[in-house]
Structure 1
Amino acid sequence: MSGTPRRTAGLRCEDARLIARDVLAAHGVAERLVDDVLLVVSELVSNAVRHAGGVTDFHVRHLRDCVAVDVSDATSQCPRMPGTPVEVPGGFGWLLVNRIADRTEIRCGLGGKTITALIPIPSVT
């Protein structure tokens, strides 16, 4: 397992993408997967900034069969899927994260939540 040192408050999407790109480059990850990971990073970080007062913790890990992206914020409010009611905007980024990631996990606590997205590394055949 290898990843980034944890980053905290004030993290912007641009910074998070640079950190993720550096971690993935160190592991020789294919550009197509890099694009998927950067999209997930952008969505999770921007949602934390827009809806939860900012990122309180950020980590990208290259594991044996996936890339894990962890984003924490200070609210325990869960992301919502789009659709109901239709007059409420948003939710499509969360839908996109869940289509790219094999699995997403939400861990809530008194100080907020951490969302982990596990993006599969395609096997080389």
Structure 2
Amino acid sequence: MRETQRTDSPAGLREPCRSLPYRPADARRTVQRVVAERCRTRAVPCDDDALDDVLLVTSELTTNAILHGGGITGFDVDVDSGTVSVSVSDGSDEIPVVEAPVDERGRNRLGGRGWPIVCLLARDVSVAGLPRGGKRITAVVPLDWER
């Protein structure tokens, strides 16, 4: 069974719709609450280190939406038997890319580490264009390091 916390559409919600997170900390709190509730009520395995990974992925996706995508336009958290899917939408059509940590002149770049972190920690990452422009990035992170 899949449980969903959606913040961009009221259809089919188990809980009242909440406003979009406007800071990564708000998104992390939402993810932590939804995961803790699911682990408590459904006996889903919840490894603390794996939860830390989910929270880091949430921070990176929301920060990137704010810095590079013009802000967060949608946010979803889905928890099923052993994974957490975090989806963040923004207004930019640009797809994230991995850049070298140094530029062509050999100078260290500021930033640029978030997307590689997401790709490293997530089991699956997808980027989908949205009908009205922008994109939705979904990262699926295991809740149990054994999986």
Q: Supply the distance in 2 between the matched residues of 1:118 and 1:20 (Cα, whole angstroms).
A: 13
**Equivalent AA in structure 2 for residue 105 of structure 1:** S
| Range with bigger deviation, 29-38 or 82-91 | 82-91
- Please give the TM-score of this superposition, normalised by the length of structure 1: 0.88
Match of 1:37 in 2: 54
Identity of aligned residues (%): 34
Q: Supply the distance in 2 between the matched residues of 1:93 and 1:105 (Cα, whole angstroms).
A: 15
Match of 2:98 in 1: 81
* Bigger strand share: 1
The 3 A distance-change label for structure 1 pair 123 and 10 is: closer
- Please give the TM-score of this superposition, normalised by the length of structure 2: 0.76
Match status 1:120 vs 2:142: yes
Where structure 2 has 5 or more consecutive residues not aligned to the other structure, the ranges are: 9-18, 40-45
The answer to whether the Cα contact below 8 Å between 2:69 and 2:92 also exists between their aligned partners in 1 is yes
Q: Superposed, which structure 2 residues align to 1:57-96 within 5 Å?
A: 57-83=74-100, 86=103, 89-96=110-117
Match of 1:106 in 2: 127
1:75 aligned counterpart, secondary structure: coil
Kindly tell me the number of residue pairs found equivalent between the two proteins.
125
| Range with bigger deviation, 64-73 or 2-11 | 2-11
Larger Rg, first or second structure (1 or 2): 2
Match of 1:17 in 2: 28
